[in-house]
Amino acid sequence: MADPLVDSLADPLFYARAVHFAATMLVAGAVFFAVFVAAPAWRGVAGDSAVAIKVCTRLAYIAWISLVLALISGAAWLVLTAAAMSDRPPAQVFGVLWTVLSQTVFGRDWLIRLVLAGALAATLPALLSPRGHRSPWLATTAAVLAAAFAGALAWSGHAAGGLNSEAIFHPAADVLHLIAAAAWVGALPPLIVLFATASAEDTSLAIARTATVRFSMLGIASVGTLLATGIVNTFYLAGSVSALYGTAYGRLLLIKIALFLAMVAVAAGNRFLLTPQLVQQASIAVSRDALRRLRRNAAIEVLAGATIIAIVAALGTMPPAIHAAHQHLTYEAVPADAAFVHIHLTEGMADVTIRPGRVGRARAIIRLWDADFEPLEARQVSVTLTAPAAAAGNNPTPRPASQRRDGAWQVDGIALSEPGNWTVSVDVVLDATKRLTLTAPIVIEPGQ
């Protein structure tokens, strides 16, 4: 059986995603640091302070290089995704790029983020200038654009495939999760730059003290947001403790959670042990030692954060644990090459298995259950599968299912034209007056 993690690491899309996530976090983090940490730290010191000039110059390098990398890796991500959707080599997808951009959630999200990147770039020269006045309006605009640029990544992943309440709560949690990650992990490299630039003289230490306190406040808000939204995301992507331990996706997610908790532990040590030593101004020697240790701990957090970003990139190429781990008590486990979804309503439930769960021809098997997980008797069953890029007004045709001897319903010869978050709808005729319609997203993988 193929290892999903090994397959992910062999996929060029993993590397495009990893670079794009890291670059997005860095450019947004540089903006957040400039607005919420650096700007307050400059107040009270001379506008041409050597530390302020050096830090702003290096922040500009970080932001511009990161933005360029985000655009390049985003283009690579788009091409690789278009290749998977069209089942063509990457060099032959340019004719279908506009279709992907205009007719898929992923593509429209990329167009919006391209516009946001351009608007954000327009604010960077004034925002990160080592000299000159930065108006509150400019700072607010830049922070909002950076948050939108990072948060909009939510619609490029699993959060974009939900229905009903999940279509609201899961993307909302993912948006906040991404913004909080940028505000904490993305702002750590600029903090290290400031610590490395500060010296033992009074002005430098005053700047470092203010910046440390401000970053601590930003970190507390970010960690709280990451914790709350992480719980929501884990619920939607794993669904159970057994899925966390029993699937490659879940185990990788547990590693991510462990690294996050390790970062929180380091940040807590910074907040309650080292920050007071720096801020209390007991002596120059104590302040310099605290500054050195804070810089070292920030570097450790950056390393852990980079590992988390790599894990997130890998998770995005794997089916969520909630789909991969399902095993119904009344029949065998879902095959490894199948796509599966459990649809639950108070009136009845359906387990839909599509095999193989990838682009091409496939078979759908539907098992119906009542509220007690007993077989649900039906007179007629039909299945409708809607592709992610289905044009408005193009209504897919329901396919009638035939009942097998074991009670399951089956549809053969289903054409799956592209990978992504499809929508499956099962229409059940229970009797002459009662019908049941169950609808949910289902993930279809690229062809092989």
Q: pLDDT (tens digit, 9 = 90+) per residue, 355-370? A: 988 888 899 999 998 7
Phi-psi region of 348 (alpha: psi -120 to 50; beta: other; left: phi over 0): left
Contact 122, 436 (CB under 8 A): no
Mean pLDDT computed over 229-244: 84
CA 65 to each of CA 31, 60, 72, 121, 203: distance values in angstroms, whole numbers, following the listed order:
13, 8, 11, 11, 29
**For residue 327, is pLDDT > 50?**
no
**What local confidence, expressed as pLDDT, does residue 302 receive?**
96
**8 Å CB contact between 187 and 302:** no
Helix (H) or strand (E) holding 23: helix 12-33
Q: Could you tell me the pLDDT band of residue 103, with boundaries at 50, 70 and 90?
A: confident
Q: What pLDDT does 406 receive?
A: 78
pTM assigned to the model:
0.74
Q: What is the pLDDT of residue 328?
A: 45
Mean pLDDT of the 418-426 span: 87
User: What are the backbone angles phi and psi of residue 331, rounded to the nearest 5°?
Assistant: -155, 180
163 HSE (CA, 13 A, CB side): 15
DSSP secondary structure of 99-152: HHHHHSHHHHHHHHHHHHHHHHHHHHHHHT-SSS---HHHHHHHHHHHHHHHHG
**Residue 422: CA count within 13 A, CB half-sphere:** 28
Contact status, residue 160 vs residue 104, Cβ threshold 8 Å: no
- What value does the mean pLDDT of the chain take? 85
CA distances from 260 to 191, 214, 228, 249 (A): 19, 21, 13, 17
297 has a pLDDT exceeding 90: yes
Best-predicted range by mean pLDDT (127-141, 179-193, 311-325): 179-193
Q: What confidence score (pLDDT) does residue 371 get?
A: 62
Smallest CA-to-CA distance from 341 within 358, 324, 318 is with 324
Picking from 63-67, 199-203, 396-400, which range would have the lowest pLDDT averaged per residue?
Answer: 199-203
| Cβ neighbours for 188, distance < 8 A, ≥ 6 positions apart | 29, 298, 301, 302, 305
Residue 56: name the closest of 120, 129, 139, 123 by CA.
129
- Token readout for 310 is 């790599």
